[in-house]
Amino acid sequence: MSDIITVIAPVNIAVIKYWGKRDEDLILPLNDSVSATLDTSIMCAKTSVCARADFKEDAIWLNGKKESFDSPRLQNCLGEIKLRAAAEKSVSEDFLQRKVHVCSENNFPTAAGLASSAAGYACLVTALAKLYKVKSDVSSIARLGSGSACRSVYGGFVRWHAGINPNGTDSVATQIVDSTHWPEMHALILVVGDTKKKTSSTVGMRIATQTSELLKHRVKYCVPERTEEIIQAIRQKDFPKFAEITMKDSNQFHAVALDSYPPCVYMTDVSHFIVDLIHKYNTASGSVKVAYTFDAGPNACLYLLKDEVPKVISLIKHVFPTSKPESFITGLSSGEEVLSPALMSISEPQVQDLIKYVIHTKVGEGPTEITDGSHLLNEAGLPKTE
Amino acid sequence: MSDIITVIAPVNIAVIKYWGKRDEDLILPLNDSVSATLDTSIMCAKTSVCARADFKEDAIWLNGKKESFDSPRLQNCLGEIKLRAAAEKSVSEDFLQRKVHVCSENNFPTAAGLASSAAGYACLVTALAKLYKVKSDVSSIARLGSGSACRSVYGGFVRWHAGINPNGTDSVATQIVDSTHWPEMHALILVVGDTKKKTSSTVGMRIATQTSELLKHRVKYCVPERTEEIIQAIRQKDFPKFAEITMKDSNQFHAVALDSYPPCVYMTDVSHFIVDLIHKYNTASGSVKVAYTFDAGPNACLYLLKDEVPKVISLIKHVFPTSKPESFITGLSSGEEVLSPALMSISEPQVQDLIKYVIHTKVGEGPTEITDGSHLLNEAGLPKTE
């Protein structure tokens, strides 16, 4: 049996957004957040780890390129896992002293701003936890890598509790329902061409925390109420309620980013066009059939139930003509449906390639160990691609 | 002496924004607002009014076209002026019974979303007040035509008090300082090409009032504090403080519009590009030299002191190439200044015609009666253009 551990871990897209930290070093958020974990068969991070006595140094390769292991976030994650292993006495003192090799890659474009760091750190921490045989919940360790990574440690729908302890021990993720609870929940990620320079999430959150008056109100009043309401909607599989809260919370997150000084703007004219299109679609449908949510970038994530997918795909193809029809829709396969004249008329086709491509996916499971031997490290503990 | 009264009235651009009504019929706002009145020699509404015994009906011509007098806002304004005249016994009962003719036009494009209704109703109400010899403050009557029109009744810097009376009698404008207090205050209005359909201010405010959680916080806490601070900055001619509050309040107004459900979005990618450019300019200048503010549309209004104008005009010409250089800058004349390499480098030139034209103006006086006989109505009381 190989001493290499390989894990795949999912992306998650929040429906109640995380924005603003109460502690930057420990990555402790101002408010709770809620997300759906997306199917690893469509988008995932994959990480192999290995610890051997003959390794000379800790080493990491990301997407085929050797990177520095000095990053504080990386050091924090490895250090905390080792502390946990020592406390749990899960491995020998000798094993703890060994250097580790880490090789990680995403099966989707990292440049597209699709929560790659959440998947990446959830994957790394889960792989290390297996390597060091840590049994306890590691979401608080994934959080040290990238805040929202703590949510990718579980499948289904997940809540990240902000916690109140200054040391962050209670800032952990818990699963609301697993991926079998609402299997009809699908997602369409509309990747919008983006040439704008953006403020990083870390900087954007810092500015918002320091300057936005509205963020304080959001954190104190809006998020606590919405969190309880959306959890109830998820448990009851109440799509219209789930969708309404999701859309309102996305808008409010971007509102507080705009209320920052200087303002942070992540959505573009195309993003707002999509928002408008979804509201028109829902109005024409007579009920709320699709929800949009936007992270700190222009891409839209649409949540919708499986039955609605063919119609929405047809609408997207109608409104957003593409120069690459063969690769425009990726991920899960889905049919198309002839649009009613009412739906056809909600928007004229726009100029070509406003949307680069669409990823069709669904809610899925948490990190999983890969046991088929398809490791990213070879027998020498080095990247197979090197 | 002619029995025709002709008045010109100014546009005003708010620095503390009005957004949301506590009473839609009476046009009573949720919060105080503060604006600068802009020079009528650059942009103004002009209105002639006349009341004669032989007129068969109340009639109004707007920008050369006969319009219905049935609009409730128009009826309210005329009705209130007549009530006030009756109470003040300023004209005879016979005069009050006469029908009126109104002819009004703007000397700037009404389509550009440049507060034309504020200038128009301030002009109408001031002209009617002179016609009926009403002596008392008419800002509360202008308010019935278009909320922000009450601010255009005065020159200089003006505060619109939200008031608390249900009947709106205390929702009036007062002058903070007149136009001679800070004569160095100039404005550049950047007219952005706009092809997007927008939500009207009336509808946008209604949605915000009904749905935005953040608006409540803004109204209760942010605006009262900012109003006092900006009035102090205006009195002390503290430009950096004035500018910072102006920019923050513009951003917050657009944030609450975005927090509405469905969201209202008035700024475009070009608007946000201008915001970013101004922040970069201020950073490169080492202090806050320019403020931006955006109403319910994509156009930017920049406030800046006279000395800064040549440099900023040069920057705008550098960053926003135009296909119509001869008519790109209108209004007050101003030199240009060679930009330092540091300022040249804050932005590359963008694609042509992102900005249609720029209006250079300054803070000016309130409505003024025109006594040179250049009425819009002829001797028969009909539009001269007909």
Confidence (pLDDT) at B281: 97
Q: Which of B192, B316, B361 is CA-nearest to residue B266?
A: B192
**Distance, in angstroms, between B211 CA and closest chain A CA?**
10
List of chain A residues whose C-beta atoms are within 8 Å of the C-beta of residue B275: 262-263, 265
Tracing tokens 């135009």 back to the chain, one arrives at B322
Rounded CA separation B240/A71 (Å): 39
Q: How many domains does chain A have?
A: 2
Q: Could you tell me if residue B370 is inside a domain?
A: no
Residue of B nearest to A194 (CA): B269
A261:B248 CB<8 A: yes
User: Are B237 and B202 in the same domain?
Assistant: yes
Contact at CB, B256 and A256, closer than 8 angstroms: no
What is the CATH classification number for the domain harbouring B258? Answer: 3.30.70.890
Q: Given B179, B210, B230, which residue is the final one in a domain?
A: B179
Mutate to test the interface with A, among B31, B220, B223, B251 (most CBs of A within 10 A): B251
| pLDDT given at position A326 | 93
CATH at B77: 3.30.230.10
Q: Does residue B211 sit in the same domain as residue B329?
A: yes
**Same domain membership, residue B166 and residue B213:** no
Q: Is residue B334 part of a domain?
A: yes
SS3 B361: strand
Residue A125, pLDDT score? 98
Of the residues A123, A151, A179, which one is the last residue of a structural domain?
A179
Structural domain harbouring B155:
5-179
| Final residue belonging to a domain, choices B143, B158, B179 | B179
Radius of gyration of chain A (CA): 21
Task: Sort out which chain A residues have CB atoms less than 8 A from B224's CB and list them.
Answer: none
Chain B interface test: which of A248, A264, A273, A275 (most B C-beta within 10 Å): A248
A191 and A338 in a single domain? The answer is: yes
B303 and B220, same domain (yes or no): yes
Radius of gyration of chain B (CA): 21
CA-based nearest distance A249→chain B, Å = 8
Are residues A12 and A139 both part of a single domain?
yes
The helix/strand/coil state of A222 is helix
Q: Which residues of B touch A223 (CB under 8 A)?
A: none
| B261 to A255: CB separation less than 8 angstroms, yes or no | no
Residue B43 lies in a domain: yes
Residue B198 and residue B319 in one domain: yes
Range A230-233 contact pairs with CB under 8 angstroms and sequence separation of 24 or more = A230/A15, A230/A16, A230/A34, A231/A34, A231/A157, A231/A159, A231/A176
| Mutant choice from B219, B241, B244, B258 vs A, greatest count of A C-beta within 10 A | B258
Q: Which pLDDT score is estimated for B1?
A: 58
Tell whether A87 and A165 lie within a shared domain: yes
The verdict on residue B375 lying in a domain is no
Given B258, B268, B276, which is nearest A255 (Cβ)?
Answer: B258
> Exposure string (b/e) for B222-261, b if CB count within 10 Å is 16 or more?
bbeebbebbbebbeeeebebbbbbbbbbbbbbbbbbbbbb
Residue at B376 is within a domain: no
Q: Say how far apart CA B292 and CA B15 lie, in whole Å.
A: 9
In a domain, B374, yes or no: no
For residue A279, give the nearest of B218, B255, B262 by CB distance.
Answer: B262
**According to the model, what pLDDT value does residue A1 have?**
57
A223: distance to nearest CA of chain B, Å? Answer: 11
Q: What is the ipTM of this complex?
A: 0.94
Do B291 and B194 have their domain in common? Answer: yes
Let me know whether B164 and B190 are in one domain.
Answer: no
For chain B, 386 residues long, the average pLDDT of each consecutive 10-residue run is: 91 97 96 98 96 96 93 95 96 97 86 77 98 96 96 98 95 97 97 72 95 96 98 98 98 98 96 98 97 95 97 96 94 89 94 94 97 94 84
Same domain, B116 and B206: no
In sequence order, the β-bridge partners of residue A10 are A44
- Would you state the pLDDT for residue B116? 80
Residue B371 lies in a domain: no
Q: According to the model, what pLDDT value does residue B84 have?
A: 96
B193 domain residue, yes or no: yes
Residue-level pLDDT, tens digit, chain A, 386 residues: 589 999 999 999 999 999 999 999 999 999 999 999 999 999 999 999 999 999 999 999 998 899 999 999 999 999 999 999 999 999 999 999 999 999 999 987 665 567 788 999 999 999 999 999 999 999 999 999 999 999 999 999 999 999 999 999 999 999 999 999 999 999 999 999 755 557 889 999 999 999 999 999 999 999 999 999 999 999 999 999 999 999 999 999 999 999 999 999 999 999 999 999 999 999 999 999 999 999 999 999 999 999 999 999 999 999 999 999 999 999 999 888 889 999 999 999 999 999 999 999 999 999 999 999 999 999 999 999 75
Is residue A279 domain-shared with residue A209, that is, in the same domain?
A: yes
**Number of separate helices (H) and strands (E) present in chain A:** 11, 17
